[in-house]
């Protein structure tokens, strides 16, 4: 595959040891991940992933969850400073929400786009500066991986086998090669890993 041009596209997701991004109980089944997503390792990982990002790409469900939760954290003096910094980044950065049902967004700095993820991200790559971060929206990440558009993966791997639920990499996914750029092992066995695509 030829070298991609334009901005770097990164994706962030938490995965279990068996490669799943949620459990078998449906869209809200994240209980196995909760002990690990607010550790120092996870928070430092979050800080690294938004350090160079200037655009956040989100699916509708994650947008509604993130933009309902994070903005008040930006000014919460009781919150962890890394959480406040991430919240300020999310509030202030350009946000692109992919949705077939929304037509407008009530969140500042946000535009809603009803188009295939690969088309939207190709367009974003061709203009502006800074990393494009696809933030925990598994369906968007999977579509971009299938199109060969993800350059970097920020993965928080938690030491749990959930035994069911959707996987990031399904059978039949296109092959690719990645290099481990950094890894940090947390006190509970969680691993914050950054993989860069070899092209």
Mean pLDDT for the chain overall:
93
Give residue limits of the domains in the chain.
34-161
Q: What is the pLDDT of residue 197?
A: 97
Q: What distance, in Å, lies between the first and last C-alpha atoms of the chain? A: 6
> Other C-beta atoms within 10 Å of 153: how many?
21
Q: Which two tokens stand for residue 43?
A: 């928070």
Identify the pLDDT of residue 4: 53
Residue 6 in this model has a pLDDT that exceeds 90: no
Are the beta carbons of 46 and 40 closer than 8 angstroms?
no
Instruction: Look at domain 34-161 and name its CATH class.
Output: alpha beta
- The C-alpha atoms of residue 165 and residue 129 are separated, in whole angstroms, by 36
d(CA 99, CA 33): 26
The pLDDT confidence band at residue 173, using thresholds 50, 70 and 90, is confident
């Amino acid at each position: 595959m030829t070298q991609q041009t334009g901005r770097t596209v990164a994706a962030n997701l938490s995965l279990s040891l068996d490669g799943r991004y949620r459990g078998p109980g449906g869209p809200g089944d994240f209980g196995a991940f909760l002990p690990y997503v607010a550790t120092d390792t996870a928070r430092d990982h979050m800080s690294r992933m938004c350090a160079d990002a200037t655009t956040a790409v989100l699916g509708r469900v994650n947008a509604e969850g993130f933009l309902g939760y994070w903005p008040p954290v930006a000014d919460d003096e009781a919150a962890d400073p890394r959480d406040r910094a991430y919240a300020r980044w999310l509030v202030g950065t350009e946000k692109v929400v992919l949705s077939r049902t929304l037509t407008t967004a009530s969140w500042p700095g946000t535009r809603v786009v009803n188009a295939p993820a690969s088309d939207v991200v190709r367009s974003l790559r061709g203009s502006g500066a800074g990393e494009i971060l696809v933030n925990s929206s598994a369906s968007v990440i999977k579509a971009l991986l299938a199109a060969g558009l993800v350059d970097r993966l920020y993965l928080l791997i938690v030491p749990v086998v959930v035994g069911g639920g959707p996987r990031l990499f399904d059978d039949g996914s296109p092959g690719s090669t990645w290099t481990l750029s950094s890894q940090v092992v947390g006190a509970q066995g969680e691993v914050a890993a950054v993989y860069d695509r070899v092209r």
